Chain A
Amino acid sequence: DIQLTQSPSSLSASIGDRVTITCRASQNILMYLNWYQQTPGKAPKLLIHGASILQSGAPSRFSGGGSETHFTLTISNLQPEDFATYYCQHSYTTLPYTFGQGTKLEIK
């Protein structure tokens, strides 16, 4: 199985800050990487697919980058509703699809 490792596991930031979360894959997955946001008591919400394509309806302050084994999710100008847990997920041709362990973003 393809392993996804996110860093950091948790992060404190302030409103208006810019933060970056990293996801590393155990093998080359080209651009087959998605990002989700999950708030407590809710299902995950797709933010980014194909490493850098913003999902319809997701705010433009979210951006994704990277390829092969190294990917990033950047949130610019943090808003109160952005404090949540973020997950990466691969969709490379090799099943199973797997998720990273999550990064919890908290208010400083």
Chain B
Amino acid sequence: EVQLVESGGLMVKPGGSLRLSCSASGFLFRGHSMHWVRQSPERGLEWISLISGDGSSTYYADSVKGRFITSRDNIKTSLYLQMTSLRTDDTALYYCARSNQAQSVGFDHWGQGTLVTVSS
């Protein structure tokens, strides 16, 4: 069974940093690209980053580019999101999601989410 479990969400002050983790199991981790998607009442569902299966390529939404870094450890089957210069509008539930292997890239498995709150 595919499982994705996020952790690391906390309340932090504006300008602070945080590292989220996503532990994956039940599938060949290195065979799938992985994504971070966040959800908030204000912004709805927002895709924020993609990392290729071997970790050599990463892509980011403009809203996080230059502040967030996505990485992965295929030995530990884990995905990471290093978040810096956090702003109040980064407050959201952060999901890791597995990329399907279809022509139309979708997110076929999601974690339960981890809550990040940025507030002074």
Binding site for B on A (CB under 8 A): 31-34, 36, 43-46, 49-51, 53, 55, 87, 89, 91, 95-99, 101-102
Contact = CB atoms under 8 A, between A and B. Distances in A.
Most buried by A among B59, B62, B108, B112: B108
A26 B113 CA distance: 29
B104 A50 contact: yes
Interface string B77-115: 000000000000000000101001011111110111100
Nearest to A29: B104
A49 to B, nearest CB: 4
B104 A46 contact: no
B111 A99 contact: no
B45 A99 contact: yes
B106 to A, nearest CB: 4
Interface residues of B, number: 22
Contacts of A98: 47
Contacts of A55: 106, 108
Contacts of B61: 95-96
Interface string B49-65: 01000000001011000
Given A46-B100, A87-B45, A97 B105 contact: yes
Interface of B: 44-47, 50, 59, 61-62, 95, 97, 100, 102-108, 110-113
Contacts of A99: 44-47
State the majority secondary structure of interface residues on A: loop
Contact of B47 (A50, A51, A97): A97
Nearest to A101: B44
Contacts of B112: 43
